[in-house]
């Protein structure tokens, strides 16, 4: 009887884990700009970058003195989101951590 209960609870837990991970993967594409970037063509990327630049210029040109604290906060959040999108679309690049640099230096010392 215990084996039956354990096997059923394991099956239910694995089924729930499977469904939650597939649902999470479906919503990740919509939320993550890096995954959205993979599906865009070069023309779409350029158009999106132009659109982001235009919006940032509009925000810079705004008179923010008459805005409420909440409105300024929303503008800052919008600019941060656009920066993330622009970095995901246009940025390539390689980022090295300090630990990786130390390992590379040690390997070079050992090889040479």
Domain limits, the chain: 1-31, 40-111
pLDDT at site 26: 46
Distance CA 12, CA 107 (A): 48
Lowest pLDDT segment from 27-31, 62-66, 96-100: 27-31
Whether pLDDT at 34 is above 90: no
Whether pLDDT at 14 is above 70: no
Report yes or no: 59 and 79 within 8 Å, Cβ to Cβ.
yes
Look at 7 and 85; give whichever has higher pLDDT: 85
Binned at pLDDT 50, 70 and 90, residue 54 comes out as: very high
Look at 64 and 93; give whichever has higher pLDDT: 64
Look at 24 and 36; give whichever has higher pLDDT: 36
Q: Please compute Rg for the chain using Cα positions.
A: 24
């Amino acid at each position: 009887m215990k084996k039956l209960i354990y096997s059923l609870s394991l099956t239910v837990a694995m089924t729930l884990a499977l469904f939650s991970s597939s649902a999470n993967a479906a919503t990740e594409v919509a939320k993550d700009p890096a995954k959205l970037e993979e599906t865009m063509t070069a023309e779409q990327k350029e158009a999106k970058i132009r659109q982001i630049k235009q919006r940032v210029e509009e925000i810079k040109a705004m008179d923010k003195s008459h805005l409420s604290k909440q409105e300024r906060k929303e503008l800052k959040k919008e600019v941060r989101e656009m920066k993330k999108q622009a970095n995901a679309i246009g940025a390539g690049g390689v980022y090295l951590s300090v630990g990786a640099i130390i390992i590379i230096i040690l390997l070079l010392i050992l090889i040479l």
